[in-house]
Amino acid sequence: MVKEDKKSCCDKVTPFVESLFKEYKEEKDNLIPMLEEIQEKFGYIPQEAQKLLSDYLDIPMAEIYGVITFYSRFTLIPKGKYAISVCLGTACYVKGSQKIMDRLKERLKIESGQTTEDGMFSIDETRCVGACGLAPVFTVNGEVYGKATVQKLDQVLDEIINSQK
């Protein structure tokens, strides 16, 4: 698993979080919208950002950690360059999405919620992206691949790996 690279991200984190302070008032209920923005921007919630939010909103760090780990959209480790999500909603499950997830884990040798050591891939499970007509689906950086099969997944992975060589 990748550890967060403290030095390189801190330079960008502080100005971004501070820019959020202009937009959001110092009210506790703004914690989740602000975390959303940080997650969206950096792909995870850096520790530095948690500290800044804690001071600004007057919420203990432990409580912020509690909120981050409670909601599945927030992560403490960076997502991979190619973030792959497999839909495990019921409609996709019934059409065999578990097999796609199993194959993905087998090929990348990581579990769901983890990122490969080289930072290239991360796997997530999502519950319903809403494209049930195309079930089963997986997404790569938000792009939807419908009517997926194990072969289709292999093909997509091979293409990505070859393009990186």
Residues that bind other proteins (CB under 8 A): 27-33, 35-36, 66-67, 70-74, 88-96, 98-99, 103, 126-135, 137, 144, 146, 149-151, 154
Among 18, 10, 58, CA closest to 34:
18
**Least distance between other proteins and beta carbon 151 (Å):** 5
105, amino acid identity: K
- Judge contact between 101 and 112, C-beta under 8 A: yes
User: With respect to other proteins, which residue has the nearer C-beta, 71 or 159?
Assistant: 71
**Least distance between other proteins and beta carbon 61 (Å):** 15
Q: Enumerate residues 6+ apart whose C-beta is below 8 A from 121.
A: 80, 81, 82, 83, 84, 108, 110, 115, 160
**Least distance between other proteins and beta carbon 133 (Å):** 3
Among 129, 165, 136, CA closest to 153:
136
Beta carbons within 10 angstroms of residue 89's beta carbon: 19
User: With respect to other proteins, which residue has the nearer C-beta, 3 or 70?
Assistant: 70
User: With respect to other proteins, which residue has the nearer C-beta, 30 or 116?
Assistant: 30
**Least distance between other proteins and beta carbon 11 (Å):** 26
Token representation of residue 37: 């923005």
Q: What is the DSSP letter of 133?
A: G
Q: Enumerate residues 6+ apart whose C-beta is below 8 A from 139.
A: 84, 85, 87, 126, 129, 145
**Least distance between other proteins and beta carbon 5 (Å):** 24
User: With respect to other proteins, which residue has the nearer C-beta, 10 or 30?
Assistant: 30
